[in-house]
Amino acid sequence: MLREKTVVLGITGSIAAYKAAELASYLTQAGAKVETVMTEAAQRFISPLTLQSLNHRSVACDMWTPPENFDITHVSLAQIADVVLIAPATANIIAKLAHGLADDLLSSVVLATQAPVIVAPAMNSIMYLNQATQENLALLKKRGYTIVEPEVGRLACNEQGQGRLAALDTIVSAIDRVTGCVEDMAGLKVVVTAGGTREAFDPVRFIGNRSSGKMGYALAESAMQRGAEVTLITTTELKALSGVQVRYVENAEQMLEEVKKATEDAAVLVMAAAVADYRPKKVAQSKIKKTKDTLLLELERTPDILSEIKGKLLRIGFAAETDDLVHNAKRKLSGKKLDLIVANDVSAQGSGFGADSNKVILITRDGKEIELPLMSKYEVSNKIWDWVINIK
């Protein structure tokens, strides 16, 4: 569920710092990118090398010496974070955050981030229950921070009380919650198409397009991870997606047939495929020879898959445009009677065919435009599913 999420893990100077190593290892194995920031005191309890070895990434320890091969400052760490998790959090860091101090790397990252922040305190129970700490935590909660309460038990100082770092599962489910990694699509059947169709005009040649299929695969993968029942109808084989029903097709006609079958009992159809609008009218039985100087191919319209699929399901289309993005996308939205169109400028840098990222505008049937910044196709997918979940 945490695939492709960047977790900035802040470790502070509590004896529970050793537990952060297990947490970092778990998050890395779950597919998250873990960027660790350690305070000076944390480094007295556990070596940065431990975290570096577990995460296969450099560890940031202070403002003035950024890790090698790594252009990371407090601002870039703050920006790349999907979530900032401080575990364990001492009374000191809690006090600093409550009062907006930024006198070391970790407190500066927190002040500079717009990502959700999770604080998992661990300390002596008297320090934890001290009015100052409690009021600081209340202030952080009021500002929207998630506090993962420490557990009651035997503490390192041999006392009994509340102050033990929360269990790994509890911290991980807090991350799932704030990053939206929950099975909120369970029970939803979705059909996604991917890739560019190939329209043959002889046994070896076809008319195709530049679509890579990455967007459709990202949609299928993210829906599956959110618990949906997913059918992916694709012209390209990008990677194995366990848990997704995959149907391979080549041309628009075959894609239409598979989409018809798969959408019989589906709730959502997302047409991310670049379907040919025209196909050769005749397909030669044998390879066409180059006997003439010119060759004329007569083309005919392919079926419009989105328009042919009727019924109660939500229908989402893509509008890959090079100019007049919003205008053209809106025309398609109403022409095909869609619920949502994902408009993307395929000529923009880092966006469109073959790229791993995309910059899109979601336009709803009632004309609402949701402009998203440049983000990975996986993140774009999650924004589309968030919209689906919201209106379902």
d(CA 203, CA 221): 33
Q: How far is the CB of 278 from ligand C5P (least distance, A)?
A: 9
Q: How far is the CB of 354 from ligand C5P (least distance, A)?
A: 17
Q: How far is the CB of 197 from ligand C5P (least distance, A)?
A: 8
3-state secondary structure of 386: helix
Taking contact as CB under 6 A, which single stretch among the options 30-38, 140-148, 267-275, 368-376 is the one that binds ligand C5P? 267-275
Which residues are part of the catalytic machinery? Answer: 157
Cis omega (within 30 of 0) for bond into 121: no
Residue of 147, 178, 244, 271 that binds ligand C5P (CB under 6 A):
271
Chain position carrying tokens 């046994």 = 203
How many CB atoms within 10 Å of residue 242?
A: 5
d(CA 279, CA 295): 15
Q: By CB under 6 A, is residue 273 in contact with ligand C5P?
A: yes
Between residue 369 and residue 388, which ones bind ligand C5P under the rule CB under 6 A?
Answer: none
Taking contact as CB under 6 A, which single stretch among the options 81-89, 123-131, 222-230, 273-281 is the one that binds ligand C5P? 273-281
Write the interaction track for ligand C5P spanning residues 228-257; mark x where CB under 6 A is met and - where it is not: ------------------------x-----
State the pairing for strand pair 83-89/117-121. Answer: parallel
Give CA torsion, residues 28, 34, 38, 43, to 10 deg. 20
Q: By CB under 6 A, is residue 21 in contact with ligand C5P?
A: no
Write the interaction track for ligand C5P spanning residues 326-345; mark x where CB under 6 A is met and - where it is not: ------x-------------
d(CA 101, CA 108): 8
Residue of 275, 313, 346, 360 that binds ligand C5P (CB under 6 A):
275
How many CB atoms within 10 Å of residue 379?
A: 19
Q: How far is the CB of 281 from ligand C5P (least distance, A)?
A: 16
- The encoded tokens of residue 338 equal 């869609």
Residue of 9, 181, 232, 305 that binds ligand C5P (CB under 6 A):
305
The answer to whether 182 touches 193, Cβ cutoff 8 Å, is no
Instruction: Please say which residue, 107 or 212, places its beta carbon nearer to ligand C5P.
Output: 212
Residue of 277, 324, 356, 369 that binds ligand C5P (CB under 6 A):
277
Q: By CB under 6 A, is residue 16 in contact with ligand C5P?
A: no
Residue of 151, 184, 304, 386 that binds ligand C5P (CB under 6 A):
304
- According to DSSP, the residues that pair with 194 across neighbouring strands are 234
Q: Report in angstroms the alpha-carbon separations of 188 from 40, 210, 247, 269.
A: 48, 31, 19, 11
Give CA torsion, residues 95, 98, 103, 104, to 10 deg. 80
Instruction: Please say which residue, 204 or 297, places its beta carbon nearer to ligand C5P.
Output: 297
The answer to whether 53 touches 46, Cβ cutoff 8 Å, is no
- Contacts with ligand C5P by CB under 6 A lie at 252, 271, 273, 275, 277, 302, 304-306, 317-319, 332
